[in-house]
Structure formats: C-alpha cells, structure tokens
Amino acid sequence: MSTEMKKNSQIFQDSNNTYYPEDELQVSNLVQELYKKNQPTEIIGTGSKNFIGNNIQSAKKLSMSKLSGVIEYLPEELYIKVKANTPLELVEKELEKNNQELAFEPIDLGFIENGKTNKGTVAGCLSCNYAGSRRFKVGSVRDHVLGFQGINGKGEIIKSGGTVVKNVTGYDLSKLIKNGINKNELIGLIFNTIGVSDGISMGTQGMRYSLPSRDVIADSIETVMQAMAYDSLITVVGCDKNMPGALMSMLRLNRPSILVYGGTIAPGCHNGKKLDVVSAFEAWGEKVSGKINENEFSDIIKNACPGAGACGGMYTANTMSSAIEAMGMSLPFNSSNPATSSHKIKECDLVGKAIFNLIKLDLKPLDIVTKESIKNAVRLITVLGGSTNAVLHMLAIAKSANIKFTIDDFQKISDTTPFLANLKPSGKFLMEDLHDIGGVPAVMKYMLENDLLNGECMTVTGKTLKENLKEIKSLDFNQEVIRPISNPIKESGHIRILYGNIASNGSVAKITGKEGLLFSGKAIVFDSEDEANNGIKNGLVKKGNVVVIRYVGPKGGPGMPEMLKPTSAIMGCGLGNEVALITDGRFSGGTHGFVVGHICPEAQDGGNIALIENNDIITIDAVENSISVNISENELSSRRLNWTKPDLKFKSGVLYKYCKNVSNASNGCVTDS
C-alpha cells in the first residue's frame, strides 16, 4: 500500500508516514497532535530545497500539495491571494495574463540542483525571504506581502497583517472608477490637478500655499472641463482643500458630477495607544517641555501614520467629506469608508453606474446643492464636532452655487444643534471607529429620526436623502463614539461666531465645552507663527495667557496658514486648559483647546488685532459670543496713529495674486468675487 491513502484523524496518510491535509483546520489539528507527542515533523512543498540540509529519518511528513491555488486576483490593485503551497510558476502564469510579474525575482533552486525549473512555493519563498537581483530596487519577498494566515509550531492558527486589497501607496481610485465607467456605456478619461499635503507643509512656510490651492484646484478643473467639453465630472479627492475645491468647480460647471473621497487613514499605535498625525505635533510639545525624550518622540513620529488615507480624526478632511455626503454630492458611506478597505473598492465600482444615471436623469450639482442641503451639511458638521475650516469652505461652496449663506447662519444652526461625537481632536475616537458603528449614514439616519435633517434634499443617487437612509440600520448606543441627544457632549454646537472690538466683522471659535465657556487673560503677542513657536518652546507662554498670533491672515500670511503647531505645542506642554489662543490665521481640524481664528478684519488690513499689546486683557465669551480687548476706543485710535501697514510679503507669483484677489475670512476667502 505504498501509494494507497488511508484516513487517520480525518487526514489522509500514506505508508511513508506522509500526511496530506486539505485545509488549514486539518493542518492545525495535525500539528497540535504531533506537538503533544513531541514528534519531529518535516514540511514538504515542491521539493525545491531537498538538496539543502539533512533529512530526519524518524520525522513525520506533512505534504502541502493539496493546499495550492489562487484564491483571489485583482490585477488593477496589484493584489493576489494564494494558498501556501501554490508554486511560484503558477502565480507567474496567472500574472502574465495581465502583463504583470512578481516585483521580486524568485530563485530557481530546482534549476541549480538538476537543471529542471522549480522555483518552490509561495510559503517556501516567504519563509526564506528570497529577493534575487532586484533586492536593491524592490526589496525582498516580505516587502510585498500584505498579510498571511498560517499555523505555528503548536498548531495554533495565527494571522499577521491583513487581506485588505491595497498596494504600497493605497488604491489607484481613478483607475478603479474608470473601469466602472467603461462598464456602463461611457468612456472615462483621466486628468490631474495639483494637491498640497497639509501634513507635509504644516508648521513651515509651505503652509501659506495650502488654502490658495483650493481655488487653484477649482480653477484648473473648471479650465480643463470647459476647454475639453467633457459631459460629466468625477473628482477623486483626499486632503482638506481638494474637496471644497473640487465641489466649487462642480457648481461652477453644473454638469452631472460625483465626488469620491479617498478615505480615512488607519490609526497608528504606540505603547498600546492609538495615534494620528496630530499625535506627532503634540509629541513635539511634550518633547520641548521635557515630558518625553528624543527616542519616545521619534517612536511616535514613526508610528503616527501607518499607510494611505487622510488624517484619521474629525479634522478638516473627514469634516468636509462628511459634509459633502450630507449635501448629497457623494455616494452613501463615501466619507466614512476607510482608505484601504474593500468597501472603498466596491464604492468606486458603483460610481460608473451612478454617473450614467445622473447623465440620463440630467441631474446636476445645482439641483442637489441648495440652501437646505447646505444646512444639512452644517448640522452634521456640528453633531460630529467638525473643523472650523468648514466655515471657510462652506461659505465658498455657497458662493459658487450663488446661495446666500453667511457666518451668522452657522451660529443659528450651532445654537439649535447638539454636539454628540466623541471624536478626535477633542474626543477619543477616529473616523475608522465611526465606520465600525455604521458610518456617516447611521449618524444621518439618527439625525433624520430627530428632525435635525431635511430628508427631501436630492442626492447623486437620484434619490432623496430620506430614501437613501431608509434601509440604513439605526444607531445602537451600546458604543462610545456617538452619544444620544439625551446625553450630548454639549447641548449646542462647538462652532461659535464671535464679534467684538477685536473682530468687528466676525471670528470663528471652536469651543467643545471641555475648555470652559469663558476665558480672560493677559495677551502675549507674536507677529508670526515662527515667533509663537519659539516663544512656546522657550517658556514665554505662561498659565493664564492669551496667545495672539497675527499677520497670518489671507493677505498677511499670506494664504492664512494653519496654526496647528503652536496649538499642539501648547497641548503638549500641558497648558491646553490654561491658555487661550487667538489669530487672524486659521486652524487645522486637528486643533483643540480654547482657540479663536479667522479674526476679521485681519492685521494686514489694519484690524484691531494689529493694535493689541503685551499684557492687554483679552476676554473670550462663548456664551455671549464675544471677543474683546479691555481698552477704550480712544486708546485704540491712539495706537492706530502709530501703526504702519506692512508691505505684502510677496511681490509676484501665486501668493501675490492671492493677496490681490482674496476676500476676507468672513466671506470664505474666495478669489473670484
């Protein structure tokens, strides 16, 4: 019976003590049994390495021959999932069908031994971590493995990584969408525009270009669409300014359009704590204050951003993606589907069918974006505790749609809308956690059930918001991410529009309630972000101060850079509840604390923020919605006589043109009015 198979513990075994398990459970059971008996065991693949090492005569043998084959292959994503004993030659043949090949170069050990090709199995290649001659360009085998599921020496099933479909840089969403378009009697054509990463430019002079990029993006999309006479538009967006810029162009063009958000990043992890990009900036504050050392700081930096996707908290990217979904300009779940999830793949495939339907219905952005849908978006922003940047962007979006919507409308909505989301930066959780409990659609359904949304607004599905949400599962409050209305974080919204002698044309505060509702303290004044950062680093900022950062507005910056680094440094130094900060610049969505931005008129235009001096008493009242400096009008007039308007920091180029054309912050910083 040398070749006759018999069954032993549900696993086939031949007379040569060779077992032939058919699945991982059988492998697990068998290895557990052999482990208990302390039985030497030899794993057999294709035999490509038989000439290496010595055989143990008494060993039981486990043949993996029945665990072979391709499970899933997605050429567009450069992704293939196979069983452990799949010969590499089989994998290569499958890839060849799509003119693809393995990044690494397998070593043909069979040819080395006897002149017959045998490159071994996937598992064998992984275990030896072969690389071949391409090592220095593409790395070794393990550099291209997303994850695996296997059996350890005790027979336990273990997993590492994941089976999420992605490549090193994330999905190529535009190609996935194009494939979906081409399947629906349409022809998809791809063109690109610019993009600025706030994560890279933050805290540098490059941040001046971030907000202006929004209008450059809108202008460039409009230019190509009009010049080439394209019938419809699908935009693939990621960071903060991409989204409003893309939507502004859609509204100007008014052709069937859908916005696709690239998705949120997965959380990083360090010492059992979830991290995101803001963790890195706050760690800098902890380092300069002596709370952590350089090694700890370095570890946080390295682990904060583990892969593709926009910043993970309810910062500006996730704020705007949520708002745009609430406005009806993206497909359901678009804003909360993680960047590297299979949900994002499926969503992209649906876009082609959706845009075909919009063309057929002749349903255009101005049919969808109305004052009521903008109100829906702002209410959702309020419930989720979204970024103050949303004020700038929603004003600009409304202007592009020729809809009258002002900063005072924000205040009216904030007064009648509770803050419910325990999301970063002021809370605990990330967008991925919101996705796990039903995503933005579940939140919107809860709002609809409580009369906080207008369900009759049209969406890009060709259905109303109410119709889209009909089959969505209601929120279960056995979770900590979203609170019920009966137990809000704050009974009214976190975004406050403040007026006073510092901000006669308005300003925007982000008050979650955790910071208190009233702050009064002595001013410490800085005329740039760099000055402020150095002041915080050198201990000039003390408990009870109101930090003033000026000449960083739309014209003075120019470009109204975000003050994330100083606010994060304040948090990192442990002064988050003891210090307030006001500025004519703006804030990252990652900013939290007692902060007021968008002060208008800005310092460059001679606003009273330019006249504040060290030790002036500044009072911020989030109940009365006021911001003032405790000096008389006569004193302000006297100081104004000694004030000289600074020259613009740029005399040519993009930022010069921006200074000459940009409206003030209370009007959305638009450049086409």
Q: Is the pLDDT of residue 136 over 70?
A: no
pLDDT band at 169 (very low <50, low <70, confident <90, very high): very low
Is the bond preceding 558 in cis, omega lying within 30 degrees of 0? Answer: yes
Tell me the pLDDT tens digit for each residue of 32-43.
887 888 777 777
Of residues 401 and 593, more confidently modeled? 401
Closest C-alpha among 645, 647, 652, 611 to residue 628 = 611
Tens-digit pLDDT profile for residues 295-350: 888 888 888 888 888 889 999 999 999 999 999 999 999 999 998 887 888 899 89
Q: Which residues are catalytic?
A: 588
Round the average pLDDT of the chain to a whole number and report it.
87
More confident residue, 405 or 274: 405
Compute the distance between CA of residue 325 and CA of residue 439 in angstroms, rounded to an integer: 11
CA distances from 438 to 144, 403, 449 (A): 32, 32, 15
Position 22 pLDDT exceeds 90: no
Q: Judge whether residue 383 has pLDDT over 90.
A: yes
* CA atoms within a 13 Å half-sphere pointing along the CA-CB vector of 144: 24
DSSP letters, 237-250, are E-STTHHHHHHHHH
What's the pLDDT score for residue 208?
95
Look at residue 95 in the predicted model and tell me its pLDDT. 84
Out of 159-163, 261-265, 335-339, 634-638, pick the least confident.
159-163
pLDDT at 270: 82
Closest CA to 402 of 602, 138, 672: 672
Residue 453: pLDDT over 90? yes
C-alpha 603/C-alpha 606 separation (Å) is 5
Band (pLDDT 50/70/90 cuts) for residue 134 is low
512: phi then psi, degrees, rounded to nearest 5:
-85, -10
Q: What is the pLDDT of residues 538-549, one digit of tens each?
A: 999 999 999 999
Mean pLDDT value across residues 567-572: 84
- The proportion of the chain whose per-residue pLDDT surpasses 90, expressed as a percent, equals 56
Using one digit for the tens of pLDDT, what is the confidence trace for 109-132? Answer: 666 666 677 777 877 777 776 666
What tens digit of pLDDT does each residue of 49-78 get?
555 555 555 567 778 778 888 888 877 667
Record the tokens describing residue 469, joined without a space. Answer: 């949400």
What's the pTM value of the predicted model, to 2 decimals? 0.76
Residues 222-256: pLDDT tens digits? 999 999 999 999 999 988 899 999 999 999 999 99
